[in-house]
Structure 1
Amino acid sequence: MYELPPLSAIRTFLVACRAGSFTAAAHELCVTHGAVSRQIQSLESWLGQNLFEKQGQRMVPTPHAQALAREMSATLESLVEIVQRYGKGETKNSLRVSVPTTLGMRWLIPRLTDFHLNNPDSNIQILTTTTQQQSNHSNFDIAIKRDGLLIDGHQSSFRFLSDHHSVIAAPHLLKEKPLSCLEDFYRHTIFETETRPGHWKEWFSAASFADYRELKRQRFDHFHVTLQGIMDGLGIGVGPISTLSLDIAAGKISVPFGDIMVAHQYYCASTPVGIQKTTLHRKFEDWLITMGNLT
């Protein structure tokens, strides 16, 4: 076993650093000022380093102590996550779900009410990610990814949602500038997304439209930004129809060429190795499959 300072001293030290004084730490921990001082002295003796200095009537953390507190806090958070993952899984009612931003905002979150109706005590924590972000296995229990972007080291993975892309636009924009034939594209601004390259080219190819290079264009870095511009009526884009199905059904988005679909993809749910599948975890997996089938 590695030799470590007392956990009680570490806890007191972290609270004192966050609170900014021994008095505030004592109040938070419901102990005396002297008890806090003794715990800090114990840690200082173990480290051979002063961690607090007197400023007026207060004992405040040194820059060295603040740096130590940041690293200790991160380490303890990781330890807590490990203990929670390997605890009594059947009774755990919290689930961390990593999901791409657009799918989380437009498909998953609006449907969570349905899951909570049958699981009222559940706590589903949504962690949105962009395409470029690398997944940290310690931060989630389930990762939702587009097929082909699966994480390494997953113990299980399954497809639950099929999606296609087509031209999308705001209804009020199409009322002002109808989009009923290919020539009408010259009246609009084409919105492109850096993380989804090639979708317009694929769609124009499927539509047998060869003169698309002269169209007005504007590019955004992520699709959820592109989508906001589309919904505001600033331009038109190519978007995922299943992901946006609720917005389409509500009349917030129109699909003027719904018979031309491209860029087929699946979304998968993966569980990293080391995550204990709880009852809630398995219920959520089953629910994803059901919602995918209903979309």
Structure 2
Amino acid sequence: MSRLSLPLNAIDAFLVTARHLNLTHAAKELCLTQGAVSRKIATLETWFGFPLFERHARGLRLSPQGSALLPELHSAFEHLLMVADQAQAQQTVVRLKAPTCAMRWLVPRLLHLEQHYPELQIALTTTTDHTVNFKTEPYDAAIVFGTQLSAGDLLFDEALTPVMSATLIPPQALDNMTLLHPTRDKTDWSLWLAKQQTFQPAMRKNQHFDTMDLAITAAIQGLGLAIADETLVAEDIRAGRLQRPFDESVKTGASYRLVLRESRHKAAGLAAFRQGLLAVNPA
């Protein structure tokens, strides 16, 4: 028979059964039914063309061919497991928690990590939660957002500026545009307008969203004038999806930061993840 048809998944069943010489005990260890173990061994015997066990009333005995084959198969299977363990150790899975609003900044850097750090696998969870508790949450790293944060690495400070669809050229009368809010209140717009003198809309037409990412997306579609973080919309402006009708931006005192779990097992992988994410030019 072709080597490609060798039933590799049956070898473990043979090795376990050879150790117990009892199908019931082997089935329990393998978490299979006794019939499933018997079928796996029968498939392997068919492939080899000789019996691996001799069936007796009191149980099983290895056949002469099975006895001769057992040490070689055991050694080869152990080597296969060792190679798999080494490969798994080289692959670091980084469980990352990030706020949805940071995705516009994060995605290009995840592409950079994928290209330059193939040993890393990023398991991303997006959330509207801006904090993390490594004692109760199963993450290795997190991007957190808030004021008066000091832990971890500074990614960027929040600086708000109005943005609108780049297709609205020349811009329509800004005073009549719907103001798009990234929260359920008007805090961000009020903060920016407090620093302005020339643009003071009455806020008669407003649309509120649950996240800044949704407000930015609505602005790209031409729904209105959004207040957004200038770092988060930088790529949309470069790509011509958005424009800034005003040059001014206002810092809010909040920032985005990267924090990592202390992990001896994943120390090297997390260090590589941090280095890649903090790269100045991920492109």
TM-score category of the 2 structures, normalised to the smaller one: 0.5 to 0.7
Describe the SS at the equivalent of 1:116: helix
Aligned to 1:287: 276
Residue 161 (structure 1) aligned with residue 156 (structure 2): yes
What displacement does 1:116 show? 1.9
Describe the SS at the equivalent of 2:279: helix
Aligned to 2:139: 140
2-structure distance, mates of 1:225, 1:196: 15
Describe the SS at the equivalent of 1:212: coil
1-structure distance, mates of 2:130, 2:276: 27
2-structure distance, mates of 1:214, 1:103: 26
Taking a change above 3 Å as real, the CA distance of residues 162 and 290 of structure 1, as seen in their structure-2 partners, is farther
What displacement does 1:142 show? 0.5
1-structure distance, mates of 2:111, 2:205: 40
What displacement does 1:102 show? 2.0
Taking a change above 3 Å as real, the CA distance of residues 157 and 195 of structure 1, as seen in their structure-2 partners, is farther
What is the one-letter code of the residue matched to 1:237? A
Describe the SS at the equivalent of 1:203: helix
Taking a change above 3 Å as real, the CA distance of residues 122 and 214 of structure 1, as seen in their structure-2 partners, is closer
Residue 32 (structure 1) aligned with residue 26 (structure 2): no
What displacement does 1:214 show? 4.6
1:111 corresponds to which of 105, 109, 112: 109
Taking a change above 3 Å as real, the CA distance of residues 265 and 290 of structure 1, as seen in their structure-2 partners, is farther
What is the one-letter code of the residue matched to 1:185? L
Taking a change above 3 Å as real, the CA distance of residues 248 and 109 of structure 1, as seen in their structure-2 partners, is same
Q: Quick one: higher RCO (CA 8 Å, sep 6+), 1 or 2?
A: 1
Aligned to 1:204: 193
Taking a change above 3 Å as real, the CA distance of residues 134 and 120 of structure 1, as seen in their structure-2 partners, is closer
Aligned to 2:267: 278
Segments of 5+ residues of structure 2 without an aligned counterpart are: 1-26, 38-86
Aligned to 2:248: 259
Aligned to 2:119: 121
Taking a change above 3 Å as real, the CA distance of residues 275 and 121 of structure 1, as seen in their structure-2 partners, is closer
Residue deviations 1:130-174, cap 9 Å, x none?
Answer: 0378656432100111143869xxxx62212234110011111x2
What displacement does 1:186 show? 2.0
Taking a change above 3 Å as real, the CA distance of residues 261 and 282 of structure 1, as seen in their structure-2 partners, is same
Q: How many residues align?
A: 206
Query: How is 1:1-295 mapped onto 2 (pairs within 5 angstroms)?
Result: 31-32=32-33, 91-104=90-103, 106-131=104-129, 137-148=136-147, 157-172=152-167, 174-175=168-169, 177-178=171-172, 184-194=173-183, 197-208=186-197, 211-272=200-261, 276-291=265-280
Question: 1:144 touches 1:267 (CA, 8 Å); kept in 2?
Answer: yes
Residue deviations 1:14-63, cap 9 Å, x none?
Answer: xxxxxxxxxxxx9xx78435689xxxxxxxxxxxxxxxxxxxxxxxxxxx
What displacement does 1:256 show? 1.3
- Backbone CA RMSD of aligned residues: 3.5
What displacement does 1:194 show? 2.1
% identical aligned pairs:
23
Segments of 5+ residues of structure 1 without an aligned counterpart are: 1-25, 37-87, 179-183
Taking a change above 3 Å as real, the CA distance of residues 275 and 186 of structure 1, as seen in their structure-2 partners, is farther
Taking a change above 3 Å as real, the CA distance of residues 31 and 262 of structure 1, as seen in their structure-2 partners, is closer
Aligned to 2:83: none
What is the one-letter code of the residue matched to 2:178? T
Taking a change above 3 Å as real, the CA distance of residues 268 and 134 of structure 1, as seen in their structure-2 partners, is closer
What is the one-letter code of the residue matched to 1:99? A
Deviates more, 1:205-214 or 1:91-100: 205-214
Taking a change above 3 Å as real, the CA distance of residues 214 and 95 of structure 1, as seen in their structure-2 partners, is closer
1-structure distance, mates of 2:190, 2:274: 35
What is the one-letter code of the residue matched to 1:109? V
TM-score for both structures, normalised by structure 1: 0.59
1-structure distance, mates of 2:270, 2:279: 15
What is the one-letter code of the residue matched to 1:208? Q
2-structure distance, mates of 1:196, 1:214: 12
